[in-house]
Structure 1
Amino acid sequence: MTTAKTPSSRRHRSRELLLEVIRREGGVTRADLCRLTGLSRSAVADSVQDLLNERLVVEDVLDAGGKGAGRGRPSALLVAAPPRGVVLGIDFGHTHVSVAVATTDGRVLADQHSEVNVDAQAAAALDVAAGAAHRLLSQLDMTILDVRSITAGLPAPLDVRTKRIKSASIMTSWAHLEPERELGSRLGGPVVVVNDADLGAGAEVRFGAAKGFRDVVYVKAGEGIGASLILNGAPYQGSHGIAGEIGHTNVTSQEGWCRCGNRGCLETVVSSIVVEERLKAAGLDSVPNPDFPLSRSGEDPAITRIVMASGRILGRVLADICNCLNPSMIVLGGVLGTAGKPLVEGVRESINLYAQPAAAAVVEVRTAQLGLRAELMGAVAQASQRALYQG
């Protein structure tokens, strides 16, 4: 005998559906919910009231010209209430570890940056990250029990199945480690570890230079060079998580050996280390500001020339990506991204020269709006999103 669904079970399913839509959309009106779900106005009204009573949703009154506004009283925008507690975002660079404690809606409360040889000293880097996290929490009168979600980024390809670094020749001291388990055991809670360029891309798409774009190539050009691909609004990592390793594209046979074991890779010719060596060889001080090492590139003609030449080499590889993927936006991040306009001009010149004209015409090239904090803010954003969906 089939038992009919009770009104309470139908209301519960409506409530769960509405909560999912509100979280996904980032803010909707009651009229939007009727349109997006197909539920009746009365069903939406009842379920929304349940969500408001349970403090899973809050509402803001819109201005007259706001979303859903019309005649009569102002519409109310429904948004998911941020869960209590905090999140941790961690950015492992090749030579640094940055940690941030943030509210579950992404507002940074405290952060710390430490210089560490991450590539060669995995255990030390993990200890520094965990120590900084516990120290920051203590300063905020919190413990790991207050943390709802933790996301960390590593500057290396991660196998999506094993969650280990795929290439043993990149970050060799991490080759046999399980980063999520190692960091989780030090912190005392579960950790999600992803590629750092993917975090930078997510931050720039959500908050920065690529906001509103759905086909984006984000390039993190620092000590190494990696890219993250956002295709049709979704990150693309490839079958095993290695997509975007453009730093190991062969561009010449005349340069030195790369850490991957090949010769002539892009990052042996264009990386922040190589560019700074060229600046020093030219007798230039490349570090006028520790946070933005190349910020003088638009003022000093010699720095500008070196940066533009580096941009042309990087742009040659990005031109091929334009031919293959037809992105609408390329964002240049990492230390080289702080060079600003000269780097963009160099990249743009090569794209115009080598990319198919139609592909070159539609792609914009910008530097990362979040600068050197893009990866850290991406880790915070992803941790916040996970906390939201965990309730």
Structure 2
Amino acid sequence: MRERGTITRAEVSIQTQLSRSAVSNLVTELIDSGRIVERAGAAKGPGSGSGRPSLVLAPVLPDGVLLAIDFGHNHLRVAAADMAGGIRAERSAELDVDAHAAQAMDRCANLIAWVLADAGVERGAVLAAAAGIPGPLDNGAQRKVRSPTILADWVDLSPAVELERRIGHPVAIDNDANLGALGELHYGAGRDAGDFIYVKASHGIGASIVLNGQPYRGASGIAGEIGHTQIPGGAQWCRCGNRGCLETAVSIEIVRAELHRLRPALVDPAVAAEDPVARRILTEAGRTIGRVVADLCNCLNPAAVILGGDLGEYGAAVVDGLRDSIDRYAQPAVSETVTVRPAANGRRAELLGAIALAAQHATYHL
């Protein structure tokens, strides 16, 4: 119930492989203790062939707020939300996060104080906090930043420890692409896909591999760093020390520079969508990313590929390019079953994912 929000008794029986009588006894116990409620589910509407809506079980949500933190390479967003995911207050700031770790975390603490004041709640009302970091974290207990090529000023820091010291509350931490995937899984385009690849295309190119509803992090926490996959014909030096990495050919800065060179107004996604030359540039960017993603599709056979980040906000042209490359380079049995979608939450997916992660920690520690 904590993972799904609502679920029927029959679905609980299937998921747990417990008998209906065992589920009934447990549900009665949880209802009597005030930890869950049973209520009518949403009606499916006329013409659906369904009668009265089924009864669903839902957890009783505690009062209080969740803190969600999204560190981007060039921005910081902080929100206070309720347990249902509704944002009560939000603040943001532009700053060079990569090169100024301490300053970014100090600014985060200030934004949190303002957000709590905006929401009209005391610090004691915080149930849980979660943050996304724009780089890989190891799988150790302190979740330290280990890659000097992505977050040079953060190496060997534990963002969770540093943030807890500043705000006085434990902070769950994850890679920003993983949080973007969680945001789409719980509140967006990934809700009907248990296995999908979330691609965050912004200042760098990263991905989160979601398997059976859970992000896969790999042995050392670096799974999904597709931005450093080498592409045919690439020659530019990359910050990782190699030539021809994907993110040297496609990033939001590169695409915006090309659009600006044609006409400054084309940097606006709404304007670019109406311009045939801009659409060509965007489609080619999608094809370049799709060439790498197609190989991932062959390996993982996902149900969906979801495009997020700043580049994802340019919409259909980029998605169409992704689709073209997957159709061309993935095996037919794979490409025929995978859907390619824009992220429903755009650049806010990571913030919503931080809310989802904080909610998980709040409910599991009740």
- What TM-score do you get using the length of structure 2 for normalisation? 0.91
Deviations 1:224-274 (A, max 9, x none): 110000123322111111000000011156533211122211111100011
CA distance in 1, matches of 2:121, 2:335: 50
Show structure 1 runs of 5+ residues with no match: 1-21, 289-293
Aligned counterpart in structure 1 of residue 95 of structure 2, from 108, 116, 131: 116
2:83 alignment counterpart: 104
Structure 1 position 59 matched with structure 2 position 38: yes
How much does 1:104 deviate?
A: 1.6
Paired letter, 2:125: D
Aligned residue runs from structure 1 range 1-391, under 5 A: 22-24=1-3, 26-29=5-8, 37-38=18-19, 40=21, 44=24, 48=27, 50-62=29-41, 76-161=55-140, 162-252=142-232, 254-288=234-268, 294-391=269-366
Give the distance between the partners of 2:12 and 2:294, measured in 1 at CA: 42
Contact in 2 for aligned 1:252/1:265 (Cα 8 Å) = no
Shift in alpha-carbon separation, 1:261–1:295, aligned structure 2, 3 A: farther
One-letter code aligned to 2:275 = D
Distance (whole Å) between structure 2 residues aligned to residue 101 and residue 112 of structure 1: 9
Q: What is the distance in 2 between the residues matched to 1:385 and 1:117?
A: 30
What's the CA shift string for 1:29-80, capped at 9, x where partnerless?
5566677533747x945x54553454322232347879xxx99x98643211
8 A Cα contact 1:297 1:340, kept in partner: no
User: C-alpha distance in 1, partners of 2:70/2:326?
Assistant: 30
SS at match of 1:23: coil
Whole-Å Cα distance in 1 between the matches of residues 37 and 347 of structure 2?
33
Which whole-Å CA distance do the structure 2 matches of 1:63 and 1:371 have between them?
27
Q: Give the whole-Å Cα distance in 1 for the aligned partners of 2:191 and 2:310.
A: 21
The 8 Å contact of residues 295 and 338 in structure 1, kept in 2 or not, is answered as: no
Query: Could you list the per-position Cα deviations for residues 154-202 of structure 1 after superposition, in whole angstroms to 9, with x for gaps in the alignment?
Result: 1101101151112112110111311111111111110111001011111
What is the alpha-carbon root mean square deviation over aligned residues? 2.4
CA contact (8 A) 1:329 1:365 kept: yes
Q: Are the structure 2 counterparts of residues 247 and 142 from structure 1 closer, same or farther at C-alpha, using a change threshold of 3 Å?
A: same
Say which SS state the counterpart of residue 316 (structure 1) adopts.
helix
Q: Distance in 1 between matches of 2:352 and 2:90?
A: 11
Rounded to whole Å, the distance in 1 between the matches of 2:44 and 2:317 is: 40
| Deviation of the 1:311 alpha carbon | 1.1
SS in 2 for 1:339: coil
8 Å CA contact 1:253–1:263 kept in 2: the answer is: no
Aligned length: 359
Question: Which string of whole-angstrom CA distances, capped at 9 and with x for unpartnered residues, describes residues 90-136 of structure 1?
Answer: 11110000111001221111111211111111111111211111111
Measure the CA separation in 2 of the matches of 1:148 and 1:321. Answer: 37
Aligned counterpart, 1:7: none
Give aligned-pair identity as a percent: 45
Amino acid at match of 2:229: T
Partner-residue secondary structure (3-state), 2:264: coil
Query: What is the match of residue 8 of structure 1?
Result: none
CA distance in 1 between partners of 2:292 and 2:250 (Å)? 11
Other structure's SS at 2:170 match? coil
TM-score by length of 1: 0.85
The one-letter code sitting in structure 2 at the alignment partner of 1:147 is V
Q: Aligned partners of 1:178, 1:153: CA distance in 2, in Å?
A: 12
Which runs of no fewer than 5 residues in structure 2 stay unpaired?
none
Q: 1:340 Cα shift?
A: 0.7
- Which letter maps to 1:197? A
1:306 shift after superposition? 0.9
Higher Cα Rg, which structure:
1
How far apart in 2 are the matches of 1:329 and 1:63? 26
CA contact (8 A) 1:34 1:44 kept: no
> Mean Cα displacement is larger for which, 239-248 or 74-83?
74-83
